[in-house]
């Protein structure tokens, strides 16, 4: 059995930054209770570790008064930020810079009179935050939606940062048929695009893929959809979900991981596959897991 790790898998820049800011806050505000508004990132293991270290997730702004509050990497709504300020909280902004840019673009496009469409998952915290920077006409749309029900003179299309590039291109083509002026902003972060391309490449060469990451993680679910279209695939949060039955008859196995998945979780998944296969050559570091390149197969 051969096992490969996809390039560009695991923690992205925004997640690393958010965790570093949380660690710095803990070191700076010694003895003070620190909160995150919602989960800092969509990874249950990391959220649990932060909680054990004294950084507690809060479910609502109403709970937070005169506290130290870390804004999650997905960002928050404009009204939530204002309420945090009014309630006397110390705010540490861990919003991913790529997400923060979407807020600025939406504000700019509204100011310039554009009908703004946000391509993304309407229930995702990132998109809920983005929507709050629009106006009453700003809409969240899916790639498969009929966007030409209404004709607008000026339309701006802005994407959730973890969406698929192919979907952005397809939706842009649809909008061109029903507007006179279209401004498209490629707000899909580079790490997401690279991760998707690498996962697709690996999935096309394997008998089985494991996509590692939180079940609520948008970018991980996108990876799962991409890999599942190519080969047999499982979306798992940790190594305990892997069973011997999954590996029967599989010769080449791929592992990829979402942006909120730490290296040690990828290592645990790799070693669990090895253990089931009765192969004692376990990895102690991420570098010891063979990295897939086009020539690998």
Q: Which residues are catalytic?
A: 126
Query: Are 3 and 253 contacting, i.e. CB atoms less than 8 angstroms apart?
Result: yes
Q: How far is CA 236 from CA 86, 170, 268, 291, in A?
A: 40, 29, 12, 20
The secondary structure element, H or E, covering residue 98 is helix 97-111
Contacts of 160 by beta carbon, 8 Å cutoff, 6+ apart: 102, 118, 119, 120, 121, 124, 126, 127, 130, 187, 188, 218
Q: How far is CA 17 from CA 89, 97, 101, 212, 242, in A?
A: 21, 10, 16, 20, 30
Alpha-carbon distance 203 to 181, whole Å? 38
């Amino acid at each position: 059995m051969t096992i490969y790790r996809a390039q560009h898998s695991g923690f992205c820049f925004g997640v690393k930054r958010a965790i570093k800011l949380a660690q710095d806050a803990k070191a700076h505000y010694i003895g003070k209770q620190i909160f995150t508004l919602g989960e800092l990132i969509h990874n249950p293991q990391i959220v649990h570790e932060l909680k054990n270290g004294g950084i507690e997730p809060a479910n609502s702004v109403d709970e937070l008064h005169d506290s130290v509050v870390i804004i999650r990497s997905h960002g928050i709504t404009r009204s939530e930020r204002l309420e945090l300020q009014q309630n006397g909280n110390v705010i540490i902004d861990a919003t991913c810079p790529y997400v923060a840019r979407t807020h600025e673009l939406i504000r700019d496009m509204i100011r310039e009179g554009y009908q703004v469409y946000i391509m993304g998952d309407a229930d995702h915290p990132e998109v809920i935050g983005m929507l709050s920077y629009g106006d009453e006409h700003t809409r969240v749309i899916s790639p498969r939606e009929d966007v030409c029900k209404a004709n607008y003179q000026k339309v701006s299309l802005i994407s959730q940062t973890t969406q698929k590039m192919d979907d952005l291109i397809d939706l842009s083509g649809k909008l061109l048929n029903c507007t006179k002026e279209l401004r498209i902003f490629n707000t899909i972060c580079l790490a997401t695009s690279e991760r998707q391309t690498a996962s697709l490449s690996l999935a096309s060469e394997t008998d089985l893929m494991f996509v590692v990451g939180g079940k609520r993680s948008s970018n991980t679910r996108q990876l799962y959809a991409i890999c599942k279209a190519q080969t047999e695939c499982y979306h798992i949060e940790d190594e305990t979900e892997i069973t011997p039955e999954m590996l029967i008859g599989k010769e080449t196995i791929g592992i990829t991981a979402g942006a909120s998945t730490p290296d040690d979780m990828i290592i645990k998944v790799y070693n669990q596959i090895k253990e089931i296969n009765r192969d004692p050559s376990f990895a102690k570091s991420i570098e010891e897991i063979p990295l897939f390149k086009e020539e690998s197969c």
